[in-house]
Amino acid sequence: MRPKIAFIGAGSVVFAKKLISDILQFPELSDCCISLMDIDPARLKVAEIMTRKIISKLGVKAVCEATTDRREAIRGAKYVICAIQVGGYKPATVIDFEIPKKYGLQQTIADTLGVGGVFRGLRTIPKILEIAQDIKEVGEPECLFINYTNPMAMLCMAVDHAVGVPMVGLCHSVQGTSSMLANFAGLKYEDVTFKVAGINHQAFFLEFKYRGRDAYPILFKLLDDPNFTQEKVRFEMMRRLGYFVTESSEHQSEYVPYFIQHGEEMISKYDIPIDEYLRRCEATLSTWEKTEADLLGSDGDIVVQSQSHEYGSYIIHSMETNQNRVIYGNVPNTDLISNLPHRCCVELPVLVDGNGLQPTRIGELPPQLAAICRTNVNVQELTVEAALSLKREHVYHAVMTDPHTAATLTLDKIWEMCDELIEAHQKLGYLPDYSPVKKGTGRPLSQVGNKVFASVVQPDLEDDTRYELLIDNQSDTPFGSQIEMELLETTEDLEKLEPIQAVVEAQKQVSQAFSLPEMLKSKEFTLFPISEDKRLVGQPFERIKQGVIKIPILNGNAPLEDADLNQHGIPIELRGHGEELATGHMAIAADQLYVSLQVHDTKISHNRHQPWEASCLDFRVGKSGMGSGVSRLFLIPQNGSQTLLDKLRNPAPQHKFETNVTGNGYSARGSIDLSSLNIDPKRESFLLSLNVSVGALGTAHGACRSEWKPESGLNQGFAICRAVE
């Protein structure tokens, strides 16, 4: 019985011509049924005429059928060959290049990895899964899915995870590169043997031999030849990794973060052809009319080349005739390469005979090769997860883990670029709707964004009966529900507190005052807002027995002298590594909080962007009630007069300090202007946190960070302070 071979995407006529010619030149396959399918009727007609001419030219008994109905093409097929491009060159591929280019991201091919590969995968995976499902439902039992479409690894992985039909992904990288290396080394190709393994487009020649002897030294000798300028990227990667990679330099340059990202000088040095795939597509389109005319020539003749090195026809022939062959294919990793993830898609030797595909177990790749492969597998797995789960966050995750993109763009730019790409593809119908995320994050909106937050604040930390419930509705619909104030961990056996009826418009915030029973005054308890509305996220409020740190007011409204501060101010002490870290005093005068500290730091270092990671004083000051906000101020030790830095690392000139750096640390003396922070210390209590970070404490200890912890008056890490006469 003649096997039926379906060709999905037969409108790729130049490639289809090669494969169909390969198949029909095997006598054992010369009577098969070739079923052509494409969504473009005009291209399909060209493919049908071309196939009939090949059959006539070869004088074989094969039959040809053509249809735009994919399911009918696959019905009863024993083999299905896929070579599709969802969205085509225009508009989809152009979008994959032009939008990233706006963000400064340059690409060469963009069909396998990178942001272009991710979005090609996202729009292709749904169609590949439909083909696989048709194979499962109407193809002949054990019908083999032979895929030539990129991004190869992503598509094969998606089919394996979601449908599970027999499948192999085919590429010509191994054949082409092995022949190229033999030519570079001056060796006869028929005497060369090799073993290759890894992932598609990033598999490596683990062995490269000539008549059984290691020929790698010949390749490494080429690195010393100034006149040898071929495949610069791949030979540079061989220099560093010790092994040669299968796919071209233009591909390789966008799979790793060592070339394109470092500017025009590197691009020129390594001859990297930016936008190469766009040029290839334009060249193909410009010659299409001539190609079509050649295929449809009125004389009825057609040129049939001898069999190519494409593996597709050889697989079919071996399975039909039981002839043993070894091909290189992309298959699920079922412990074939033990240091790559389970069921990722790997490329390696595959024995083919009448029993089908039998992949070779490689074991462990050299660790540096496995590491390089895993950086690409991360992107593949996340793209597949995004396509199968329709979770938008995984689109961002796939692109942010791509080595090329991560080395070029900030996270904000990656998110913005992905949003623009998703919108552009969705407008054209190439991408489905994804579950929404909280804007600018990688978290589902249903989990964190479409929420209503309820928190309790205490307007006056010295009044234990008055509270406020702050309700922040971040969802896109109104909130109207009773909020129960659950009492936890209290020392009293109390009845349930009265609920608070809350009504909050979408994207709005409200504050509602409430009181607690007198009997809770000065007691320890935790309040936890809850509601039957599942959107509500309650934030617990812990009330502990607490005192107030009383900071003396000295010298009226006049500036405070050192002697008064050190003699009458309250003492400050911080310890780290069991040793004294900082000592000093604190007092108030003229709405200024005066601080004098002696800090022990034997390795003063500066980090203006992240001061807490080096030597600094870190103050947090705010009004009573966390809802009012807390200001963060930094002092970076250096000699002379200086101002504190605010949380954005900008100078805050209202806060003035004098510092003196010595070999064992530094002294810091100055004031924080409380009035500029809307704090009247004579009328209200305020919150204060002080942390000291040092580069080193003594000779036996490294970096240290310690927080001021007075014996009483702490509220969630802050000291509750009040000025007293």
Say which DSSP state 211 is in.
T
Measured CA angle at 349 (ends 345, 350), to 5 deg: 85
Phi and psi at residue 320, to the nearest 5°: -80, -30
Q: Which residues contact 472 (CB under 8 A, 6 or more apart)?
A: 452, 453, 454, 455, 509
Please give the Cα distance from 247 to 229 (Å, whole number): 17
Query: CB pairs under 8 A, 24+ apart, for 496-503?
Result: 500/469, 502/454, 502/469, 502/471, 503/478, 503/479
Q: Which of 172, 568, 577, 701 is catalytic?
A: 172
Give the helix/strand (H/E) hosting 573. Answer: strand 570-576
**Cα separations in angstroms, 505 against 509, 533, 538:** 8, 14, 18
**Cα separations in angstroms, 158 against 83, 85, 161, 519:** 16, 16, 5, 63
Residue 399: both structure tokens together: 């692109």
DSSP per position, 479-525: EEEEEEEEEES-SS--PPPPPEEEEE-TT-EEEEEEE--GGGTT--E
DSSP per position, 344-382: -EEEEEEEEETTEEEEPP-BPPPHHHHHHHHHHHHHHHH
**Cα separations in angstroms, 652 against 131, 265, 594, 677:** 64, 42, 16, 11
Phi and psi at residue 718, to the nearest 5°: -110, 145
Q: Hey, how many other C-beta atoms are within 10 angstroms of the C-beta on 231?
A: 23
Residue 149: both structure tokens together: 């479409």
Phi and psi at residue 126, to the nearest 5°: -55, -40
Residue 343: both structure tokens together: 């069921």
Please give the Cα distance from 174 to 614 (Å, whole number): 51
Say which DSSP state 446 is in.
I
The single-letter code of the amino acid at 113 is L
The single-letter code of the amino acid at 359 is P
Please give the Cα distance from 486 to 527 (Å, whole number): 6
Residue 413: HSE in the Cβ half-sphere, 13 Å Cα cutoff: 14
CB 526 within 8 A of CB 544: no
Helix (H, G, I), strand (E, B) or coil at 575: strand
Query: CB pairs under 8 A, 24+ apart, for 207-210?
Result: 208/178, 208/181, 208/244, 210/185
Tell me whether residue 201 is one of the annotated catalytic residues: no
CB 648 within 8 A of CB 670: no
Alpha-carbon Rg for the chain, nearest whole angstrom, is 35
Please give the Cα distance from 587 to 31 (Å, whole number): 99
CA 230 to chain centre: 33
Helix (H, G, I), strand (E, B) or coil at 683: coil
Please give the Cα distance from 711 to 713 (Å, whole number): 7
CA dihedral sign of residues 359, 360, 361, 363: negative
Catalytic machinery residues: 172
